């Protein structure tokens, strides 16, 4: 399997003062990878470095067999030569362009058929002639995703695309991100600090802290703490419902950003969906899940 190899350093001023972003990672291509960490950990800077918008002080970046950056060999491909789609946190739509024009602007070669396909795929057909000022937040998000995909990128970079949306809209548009990731098999790197989002979307998590890689693996491998006790009443949100042989395994993220795994049976999940708020409590040491009001 081809990989993205990152081995870079960049001196920054972080939330605690001077900081060196020092990232060493090998990411399997084709995955949806969440960059997770506190504000100031270096998540957005890493995206900007991968895109070519920020230059590392030194290091090496390769995507498959193509070297994008190598300080030792004076290689630094400009953003236009990197096969990326970048969706910024504020969407950065062109206000003087219609939805269709915004999407078409990102194409390497004009392709009206692809624009129509993206409009349909993201439910934007009826808004094709509107300008961004007349769109809702969710509609702007879908336009920005469609525009990022119009390049048919090898690497799709999403910088906290849902941070400005309310909870119900976030859940709906998380599905749009999954759809965008599957569109042309691009590798997706998504910046987030929302554990619910991580467990709903991520194949892998690259967890950063103070500019360093703290952990890399599946969401379960990175976040699950098997020492968490079940002898308490806890409220949280269901982020994943997995069908096992004779039962269901629920992944629940609490308000304190703890992650719980709880078993449930068919009658427990009949009225339960991902995103629902639930209460977990124990009875005779057996965890029980009921849907919140």
Report the CATH number that the domain containing residue 47 is assigned in CATH.
3.40.50.300
Q: Are residues 128 and 243 in the same domain?
A: no
pLDDT of residue 225: 57
Q: Are residues 206 and 245 in the same domain?
A: no
- Give the residue from 171, 159, 177 showing the smallest Cα distance to 90: 159
Q: Are residues 65 and 168 in the same domain?
A: yes
pLDDT of residue 287: 58
List Cβ neighbours of 113 (8 Å cut-off, separation of 6 or more).
none
- Inside any domain, residue 49: yes
pLDDT of residue 162: 73
Mean pLDDT of 14-23: 82
pLDDT digits (tens, 9 = 90+) for 231-279: 556 778 899 999 888 788 899 988 767 888 888 888 778 888 888 888 7
Q: What is the CA radius of gyration of the chain?
A: 21
Q: Are residues 246 and 163 in the same domain?
A: no
Q: Are residues 146 and 280 in the same domain?
A: no
DSSP code of 272?
A: -
Task: Say how many domains are in the chain.
Answer: 2
Q: What is the pTM of this model?
A: 0.75
Whether residue 290 is predicted with pLDDT greater than 80 in this model: the reply is no
DSSP code of 87?
A: E
SS3 for 155-168, per residue? EEEEECCCCCCCHH
Q: Are residues 187 and 243 in the same domain?
A: no
Q: Are residues 195 and 241 in the same domain?
A: no
Q: Which long-range contacts (CB under 8 A, 24 or more apart) does 100-107 make?
A: 100/128, 100/129, 102/132, 102/143, 102/147, 103/143, 103/146, 103/147, 103/150, 104/150, 105/147, 105/150, 106/147, 106/148, 106/150, 106/151, 107/150, 107/151
Cβ-count burial of 201 within 10 angstroms (0-12 exposed, 13-18 middle, 19+ buried)?
buried
Is residue 55 within 8 A of residue 49, CB to CB? The reply is yes
Whether residue 227 is predicted with pLDDT greater than 50 in this model: the reply is no
Q: Are residues 73 and 208 in the same domain?
A: yes
Q: Are residues 17 and 96 in the same domain?
A: yes
- Inside any domain, residue 228: no
Q: Which residue has the tokens 């058929």?
A: 113
CB atoms within 10 A of CB 213: 17
Q: What is the span of the domain harbouring residue 146?
A: 3-223
pLDDT digits (tens, 9 = 90+) for 78-127: 999 999 999 887 788 999 999 999 999 989 889 999 999 999 988 899 99
Q: Are residues 172 and 250 in the same domain?
A: no
- Give the residue from 215, 161, 222 showing the smallest Cα distance to 188: 161
Whether residue 12 is predicted with pLDDT greater than 50 in this model: the reply is yes
What is the CA 236 to chain-centroid distance, rounded?
A: 21
Whether residue 286 is predicted with pLDDT greater than 60 in this model: the reply is no
Q: Are residues 156 and 137 in the same domain?
A: yes
- Inside any domain, residue 174: yes
pLDDT digits (tens, 9 = 90+) for 165-223: 666 677 777 888 888 888 778 899 999 887 778 888 899 999 999 899 999 999 888 88
- Residue 36 pairs in a beta bridge with 192, 207
């Amino acid at each position: 399997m081809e990989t993205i190899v990152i081995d870079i350093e960049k001196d920054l001023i972080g939330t605690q003062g001077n900081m060196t972003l020092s990232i060493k990672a090998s990411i399997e291509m084709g995955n949806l990878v969440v960059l997770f960490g506190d504000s100031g950990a270096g998540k957005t800077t890493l995206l900007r470095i991968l895109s070519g918008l920020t230059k590392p002080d030194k290091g090496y970046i390769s995507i498959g067999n193509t070297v994008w950056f190598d300080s030792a060999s004076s290689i630094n491909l400009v953003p236009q030569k990197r096969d990326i789609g970048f969706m910024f946190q504020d969407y950065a739509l062109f206000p003087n362009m219609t939805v269709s024009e915004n999407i078409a602007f990102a194409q390497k070669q004009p392709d009206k058929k692809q624009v129509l396909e993206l409009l349909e795929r993201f439910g934007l057909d009826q808004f094709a002639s509107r300008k961004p000022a007349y769109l809702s937040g969710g509609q702007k998000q879908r336009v920005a995703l469609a525009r990022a995909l119009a390049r048919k990128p090898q690497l799709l970079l999403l910088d906290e695309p849902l941070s400005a949306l309310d909870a119900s809209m976030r859940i709906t548009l998380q599905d749009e991100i999954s759809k965008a990731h599957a569109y042309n098999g691009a590798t997706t790197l998504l910046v987030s600090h929302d554990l619910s989002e991580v467990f709903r979307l991520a194949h892998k998590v690259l967890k950063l802290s103070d500019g360093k890689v703290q952990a890399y693996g599946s969401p379960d491998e990175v976040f699950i703490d098997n020492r968490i006790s079940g002898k308490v009443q806890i409220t949280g949100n269901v982020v994943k419902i997995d069908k096992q042989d004779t039962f269901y395994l629920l992944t629940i993220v609490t308000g304190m950003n703890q992650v719980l795994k709880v078993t449930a049976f068919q009658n427990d999940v009949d009225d339960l969906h991902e995103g629902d708020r639930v209460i977990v409590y124990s009875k005779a040491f057996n965890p029980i899940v009921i849907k919140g009001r």
